[in-house]
Every structure is written in C-alpha cells, then in structure tokens.
A and B are shown apart, each in its own frame.
Chain A
Amino acid sequence: MEVSGFSGLMTATVFVPAAGAVTILLLVRGDRNIRLFAVAVALADLVLSLVVFGLFDQSEGADRFQMVDKFSWIPAESLKANFFLGVDGLSAPLVALTGLLGFCAILASMHIKLRVKEYFVWLLVLQTAVMGVFSTLDLLLFFMFWELELVPMYMLISIWGSGRKEYSAMKFLIFTILGSAFMLVAIVAVFLTPELGTFDMTQLSTKGTILVSAGVLIPLSGLFWLFFAAFAIKLPTWPVHTWLPDAHTDAPTAASVMLAGVLLKMGGYGLLRINVGMFPSQTDRFAWALVALGVISVLYGAVVTMRQTDLKRLIAFSSVSHMGLVLIGIGSVGISEGELTVTGLNGAAMQLFTHGTITGLLFLGVGLVYDKAHTRYIPDLGGLAGRMPIVAGAILLAGLASLGLPGLSGFVSELLVFLGAFRAYDWPTALAVIGIVLAAGYILWMMERAFFGPRRERFDHVTDASLVEAIPLAVMVVTIVGIGLYPSLLTDVFEIGLAPMLDVLPGGR
C-alpha cells in the first residue's frame, strides 16, 4: 500500500526553523532584532508541532501515518528516493518535544553576546535537522537529516562552548560519524536487497517484507547490528557513551538542552523505528543483549554519576543511566505475548519524552546557576537555595522527576519499562531497579552540596531567575507535572504507533 498526499503541515514544521535561519542570515540586522526574531520563529514552530500532535487522529481505523507530505525527489529508476514526511503515534509526541525544547533553548540563549547571528542560525538549523529525523519516512532522507544535525552542533560546542570545547566537539563529531558509517552501509544493503529495494520506511515496516531472509546482501542480524551501532552511539549506551559527558559539559546551555533533550532521543527513536519496526524478529532474538547493555548502562552510569563534581557532567552521566532504561524497555519484547510486550516498549518511548523534558529542565537550571554563580564545580557551590529559590526549586523538581517520583513524568516511563521488562527478564530488571536508589543518592547529594547548607558570602550578589529566564523553566515544569498526572495523553498515542510493530512478529504477537 502506497502512502501519499501533500498537506504542507509537516514540511512547514520541519523547515520553518531553517527558513528562519536563512532570513536571519540575509535580512535581520542588530543583535536585539535577531534574538526577537529567533524567539518568534521558535514559537511559531512550537505552535506548528503542537498542531501536529493535536491533529494526530487517534481514532480506530485512522491511517497509521498521517499528515503525509510526499513527492518524488530523485526519480531516477535506480534510486526512487522520495521527499517523504509524516508522523505516526511514535513520532508525533517526539515532534512536539522537539518544538518544546527548541523554543526553550532559544529562550535560554538571550544572554549570548558572541557572534549572535551565527549562533541563532545554527540553533535553528539544528532544530530543522532534528524535526526532520523524527518526521521523515524515507531512509535516504532520514540519513541526510541525521547527518545535517552534526554541523550545527559541532559549531555550537566548538565556538560557544567552554573548557576543552574543541576536543569535545571533535569527539562528538567522530563518534556520531562512525555510527553514521554503519548506518549508511545498512541502508545501502537494505536498498540493494532485491526483495526490498526501497527507501520507503512505511513499506519496509509493513508486515512480512523484511522477514524474507533469502537474497539479503548482509544477513538480517548483520543489518540489525549495523543500525544498532549507529543508534547505540547516539543514545548513548555503555561502552560508547564517553563522548556524551564531554560534549555536554563543554556545550553552551542551549546546546546541552538540545543535546540531552532531543539529540539523544534520535538514537532511541531509531531503535524503535528501525530496529524494532523493521527487524522485529531480530529484536526478539537479541533482546537479551539489549537488556544486558541496558542494565549495565543503568548501573554503570549511576555509579559514575556519583563521582562527578561538575554539575553538567553529573547530569550528563545520569543521562547514560536513564537511557539504559530505553534499552531495557525495548528488550522487553524478548517474550511472547504482544499485548504485554507493548508495555515495555511504550515505557521506552515514554522515557525518551520524559527524559527529554527532565534533563532539559536540569540543564536550563544549571545553565542559570553557571551564569550567575560563575561556577559549576560542586565543592565551590553551596547554600544557593536561599539566593535563587526559583532555580533551586526547578532543579529539585527535575531531580525528583529524574529519580522517579510519582506525580512527575519520570515515574510513568520507569514504571512501564520495569513492568514490561520484569516479565521477560526478572533478575536483570530487579538489578536495574536498584538504579532508583542510586538515582536518589546522586540527585539528593547533588542538591545537598550545591544548594543547601549555610549561606555563602561570595554568592550574595547572585540573583534568582528573571522573568524571561523563568519562562522556559515554567514550561518544562508544567510539562513534567502534566505528564506525570495525566500520562495517557502520551501513552495512548505511543501505543498507536508501537502496537503495529509487534503485529509483524510470527504468531501475531
């Protein structure tokens, strides 16, 4: 079945930031105007992304892929690549997440003084790239958006970063490109396989096609692991996580927010969309390996987090731990009944969204601390809660969400992952549950050292968040509490996207 149509909504959502970037480059003059214009563009894109999420038809019998924009892009018979955008239940929430975080990241960049024009151009291009990854349905286009995202992030870290910024930017670039190389091989192999011969992801994920193993250029398991390598680096999982703490620590606030909030989610999205969606039988077969890697990441990440003395590095390592939960959730497909499996998968998808908002808020808060107290080194901090109650409160709330406090978003995804995975792998999952104690340890210890304790004179000049600075914090807080109280807003949508993936498995599971 061919999916087709063109409504322009997805095209607009993806390319409005890029168009804004071009406009800034060519037409807008003056730092103040550039800032305001960038905010306006981000706000427009936020509205568009929420419209996409809101218009997504959840009724039974609705199309799986909606708001499709499709036209022939490279018509040559040998390629037949399409410009093909559209969302399903899996990508619609992630598009909304990107709009949300993109807006917050721009708003958190108002204090940037260095090369303002370039900065906002790169940030907006980044948003187009990520939006593109989440909404494209053509593998070739997917790969191009995936690569496009590298350039702005490299620039943002290496120019506006701090510390060993060139080293970190380069490390980020090399790791991701290495993963991309694996992915490119896999994409080419998929295309050259006679039974498949297409870049159309909707067809590739349709029942049966890819399960035919005859004549595959590379064995299916090989394709699975090639894609996995690319996404595992991006996620990241142990042991290919070391680019993350460096990149995070040295990136400017907005880049950290985007990096942790949406860029890592590209890895998880890829795993769900391509590894689970196109190779369900292989995912089933190697589920134990995913769970093993996930459990190691959860515990290893949490343990290393304990040791960190830089606020940003601490949050970065906690991301390694939390992204391990995504792998565990995906690994829950290693049992038979589809009805039950979808719980863990849904948890993995939820974890992408909730971690995006939680870590986004953490980095926004820490960015403010760094701006005002001029240090992120935890032993130098202390007693800040009295000076900046709003920022400290926001970080505490995000921290509590991160350690899985019920009523906040993190709890829902953790619970679903654990529920789903415990059925399949009880002991490994029980080990991962210990992660909730470790998380409580590093989050509360961080709070104690950096924000509680006696007032320090050297921070007497420190002010709390201003109104403009408080807006992104408030947006994130509302999202975290809202999803925590009313999770079915997202889980219902995710389920629509994920359930068909499992139907493909033999035995109708």
Chain B
Amino acid sequence: MADTTTDKPAEAAAGGDERLAHRGPIQTLLTRPEIGALLGAVGVWLLFWLVSAPFGTVGGTANFLDVAAYLGLMAVPVALLMIGGEFDLSSGAMTGATALIAILLANDINGAGLGLHIAVPLSLAFALAIGWFNGTVVEKTSLPSFIVTLGTFFMLIGAKLGFSKLFTNKVLVEGLDEAEGYEFWNGIFGAEWLRNNHLWDTRTWSNLWIVRDEMWALLLIGGIAALMIGTFELTYARRQSPNVAGLVVAAGGTVLALVGLIYLLAQDGTTSNWIGGILVAAGVLAKVAGWCRFRYEAPDRSERGTSARWWQYLISGIAALVVSMIIAVVMDATDSSQLGFLSGSFGKFVFALGIAAVGVLAVVAALGRITPGYPMFGAVLVALPTISFLVTVQAARVILFGGLALLGIMLLWSTARRVQPAVTVSLAISAAIVVLAFFIQSESASRKLRVELFTVLLLVALLLAASAVARYLSAVRTTAPPPPQFGRWMHVCAALGVAAVVVFAVIELVDGDGILYALLTGVAKGGIVGFVAYAVGTVGRTLLTRDEGVGRALVTVGIGSVLLSVATRLMFVTGSELETICTVGTDGELRCPQTQFGVVVLSFLVFAAIGSWLLMRTQFGSWIMAVGGNKEAARSVGVPAARTKTTLFMMVSGAAWITGMLIAFRLTAVQANVGDGNEFRYIIVAVVGGNLLTGGYGSALGAGIGAVIWGMISQGIGFAQWNSDWRFLVLGALLLVAVMVNNYVRGRAEKAPTASAATRPDRTEIAIVVPAEPAKGAKED
C-alpha cells in the first residue's frame, strides 16, 4: 500500500487530463447553455421571414420585440432565481399587483390620492418586501419555494381582486393619467423611441443619409471580419517570426475584395454581379490565406486523413450535386406536359438500358456475387421509364433535382465525417450551400429568396470556405491563449466614453429634451465613442504588437459591431426607405411613417446584459450557481446561501415592479387579473434558454433569447396569417424542438474534448451529491 501512495507517478492516475486538448472558441461557444436557444431563434426567425412579408420588416421586429421584452424583462431574473435553485410562482401576479397598488395609491378619484411621487416608490417597497418575505420564509422553513410562493401567488390574486372591488367596485382600476406627477413618471415608464427621430437628425444631417445607409452594412462587414480574425487568433498558434510575404498577399486580397465590393455596388447587371462576386470571394480567400501565412504556425502535415476511401465519397457527392444542377438547368421548370421518355429515341434507349441492366443483374445474381446495392440499382433503372408515363416534366425536375442534391449533400457529409483534418468538411458544406443558393435563385419567384437569401447563403458559404482555408494553413493551439494586456488602454476608452456620455447628455438637456431621454442618448452615444476607441486600440494592437491576447478583444469588437449594425438598421430609416415611404409636406418638412420602440425593449436589453454580467463575471453570480448546484458545499466554504437566495427573490419582485409600472403607464388602467399565470411563461422561457429546471446551471442571456423566441412565435403566427387557433400547438412543438436541440448540442460539445468520456452530470447524479443529512448549526447565513 505504501508503494502505491508514494512511488507511483501522479500523472498515471490523473491521465485523463493529458489527453484533454485545448478547447477552441467555437467549441467553447457550443458548450454555452444558450447556444440551442440561439440556433432556435435563428431558425424561427428564418421560418417566419420566409412565410410572411411584414415579419422581417422593422415594424414586425418592433412588434415581436415588444412582446418578447415584457416576457424577457421578468424571465431574466426568474432564470437567475432558477439557477439559484428556487422558483417564484408569485412573479406573474406580482407584476399586476405593483401596477394596481401604484394606481390605487396615486389617484384621488377612488384611490388614496397620494400622488405618483409617493405611490410609485411605495409599490416598489411593497414588491421588495414580498420578495424578501418569499426568500426568508423559504430559507427559515426549508419548505420548497414552489409551495411558499404558491401561497404568495394566491394571496396576491385574492388581494388584487379584493382591493379593486373595495376601492372602485370594479375589477378595472383606472385613472393613472389623472394622478399627480403623471407627466414626470410617464416620461420614464411611458417613454418611446420613434424610429429615425434622433441621433442623426433628419434635417441637419440630411446630406449624410448615404453615410447612414452604408453605415449598418459597413458595421456588419467589419464586425464579421473582426469576429473571424478574432476566432483565428484564439484557435491557431502564433508564428515565431512573422512572414512578410503573407502580409503582402493579405493586403492585396483586401484591396481586391474592396474593389470587387465597390464594383458590385456601382454596377448593376448579371455580368457585373458575377465579376464583382468572384472578385470579392477571391479577395477574401486570398486575404485569409495571406493572413494565416503571415501570422500563424504552419500545421504538422504528418497526420493525414484517416479513412482511405473518403475521396470516393467526396467525388460521388460532388458528382451528384453537379448532375442535380445540370438537371435543374436543362429541364424546363414551366413545362407541365408528361415526361414520356418512351416517345422519343432517348426514352427507348433508357428503356433498353434498363432491360439490359436487369439481364446483367440476373447473370450476376446467378453467379452468386450479389449485394443489396445491385437489385436496388436495377429497380431504379426499370422504374424510371415506367414512372416517366405518370410524371410531368416539372415534377420530375423537382424530384430528380431534390433527390440528387440531397444525395450529394449526404455523401459530402459522409466525406466530412471520414476525414481529418476538418478542412474538407467546411469545403463540402460550403459547396453544398452554393448549390443550394443557386437552386433557390433559379427556382423562386420571390425577390426575398432570389436576392436576399441568395446573397446571405453565398456569404455564409464564403465564410465557411475562408475558415477551411485558414484551418488548412495554420496549426491549432495547444494551450489557451493568454489574457489580453490592455490595462491602460481600457482606462483611456472608459474615460473617453464617460466624458462623451456627459457631453452628449448635457447637449441634449440644453436642447430641451427630457431627462431620461437625455441620459439614454448620452449613454448610447458615449458608449459608441468608448467602443470605437476600444475597437481602434484592438485593431492597432493586433497589427502592431505581439500580444497574443488580442483574439478575445477582437471577438468582443466583432460582436459589438454586429449588434451596432442591427441597432442602426432598426433605429434609423435608410435612404432608400426614405425615398419610398416618406413624403415632403408643403412646409418642406419630411414626414415618414414612424415605428415605435417602447422603453420596455430598452429595459429588457439592459436587464439581459446586466443579468448575464452578474452571473458570468461577479462573485454574486458564482454564488448563485453554487447555491443552486450544491447548497451545502457552498455553505461549507463560506457562501452566505440564505442572503444570496433572498436577494434573488427580491430581484425577481423588483423586476416585477418595473414590469408592473411599464404596464400601468402603457394602459393607464389595469385589470385586477393582469399578469396572473405569466409566471409559468417566465419559467418556460428560461428553460428554453438553456436553464436547468433543477438549478445550478444556466444563462440569463439564454432566458432573454427564449423570450425573443416566444415573441417571434406568438406574433409570427399572426403575421403569417395562420389560423391562430393552432398557436399553442405550434408554440409547444417549437419549444420542444428548441429544448431538444439545446440538449443535443450541449451533449455533443461536452463529450468531444474529454477522452475519458466523463460527461456533465445529469440530474440523477446531482441528486446523489445532495447530502442525506444536512449539517445542523451551519444554518445561519
């Protein structure tokens, strides 16, 4: 025994770790709990975008974001509470309760007449008190929070109905807009952002419309480029001495891509589209190749593809795709006459071939060398002429094209699975996407598909191809990249940003705008200034220094740019839109139909951001996960479990207060049953977003994405003009799919890096870890 303990090398026993490779950024992303929800959201968006005209417009987006925001505002804190291992069933009823209390206390017709300056803070105090009560009772009694908050839930419902009837003799409490202080509070909770009203003022900056038009596209392209380079930085090993020739190629590629892009935008026509597109693609690929040569270690080529026959799959896959495309081009899509192969000489030839094939097969079978593939082949040959009597040219074209394209993609996928490194995978998928894009373009009559989806698909294919090139040319990191060393520059950015916030806010205030509005635009503009400084610093460091930590900063810049791009698109009217939807009045002023974004959307986004930051980056976040994952363990290392949980309950009720106020100021009159029953929606949305029902694991951002999915589905059904009776059926099915995708993706990503096949423990294992006998005396805090 002594031998085992002292002489044996520790490495042998801890062997699993040696085989654990460094996780690349993509793989790390795939293990995030919200990834399934994110993919689901993209899928749902695409679905409704395809089937409905107004869904993808700014108006449609404002519409579903509004629904999502009311839900997500609550779902984020509810998710945090769930991660902390508790539920709050009173959260839905609480939203209505705070609204009722505020109105009843404030108005002097049938309420207490205290005015809103007292009533609004009082309703907050009430909400926090109930949250504190929920938390304390759950902690002191050790009862399941399910039961405790169910009690508060019923008490709130009863009280809401009772008090409304008592004061107003109705179930509808109204008169908020007549209460004292309405103007002030409505400026906060009732505020709305009118699209294109601000930031770049239409009148003074009208000659810069063109800049704004290109702005969102530029931000998007820049963001994607930063994301891609950042991912490369995180994934590939840095070269010792940079290769200058590579840099020249990269610069040349960039110029080529830009020239192509400008040509594409300037010219209009099929030929110029082809030329421009090819220039852009070639430029991007050259740029990526040059950059990788310049910057990253070349890979070790000694490890080649493992499966010998992968190239057979590759060739047959590509052949199938090519044949499918030829069929798509050669056969007439509008011809609805019967195929009738047999009427022409070609048909007779095919028929003869079929008969001959059957004969050959019979001989082969007689020789006893038959495999299952041959009879199937023969059956197809025989069936072909027969089917040709029944099917029209149109239908045959679709069947043949679709079948062959599908077969080709499956074969390419098989190739992909057989080959290491993964370069072929990306190239194969990229090729398949290009084929799909051209097919869609040739088949569809709708502009949306022919132009927009076509362009997006080509771009995706290009990105995939570029990543394949990078993967082929560069060696993968074996160690995690070091943290970025940005210390001083971060301070400069922060100082610039804060200064800009102050300056812009003061300018708006002097201009005579409301205080909330001035603050918000100030923060937005100041944030942009800080972000630009950060982006400039990051790009500079990437090009000029050897800091290996820039990858993470580049990814941050990329995500920021993409988000800014989306915000720009949603917030500001583009020049082309102005031409089509706006009119110039007799007084020379421009009048545009305006889309409104309620302050609720902003609150939702802020909540999702703060919630994510709290959970991922702060001590409190660690404590939330710990008390939800294993309360006794958390307690034994000094985490104040009771305080953490009570704070979580109070955060939920605080968010309920904000939601209640937003509802009250939007409607000015509130039904006694407002919000009742929503608590389950919050929980469902949180689960869709990847939060574990049993606690200890999840994502605040995921809950936000879940809310957006819910909003898209519930509004999208209306936009698509489907019968809304089926709404819940669709909703249920899509939610189920979302959760299953989530589970599947996470399971795959978790399994991949660990050779020892240890996976994330599921519920049963957590249950074992929970102590059978909780330690007495460790109870306080």
The judgment on whether A and B are partners is no
Q: Which residues of A contact B (CB under 8 A)?
A: none
Q: Which residues of B contact A (CB under 8 A)?
A: none
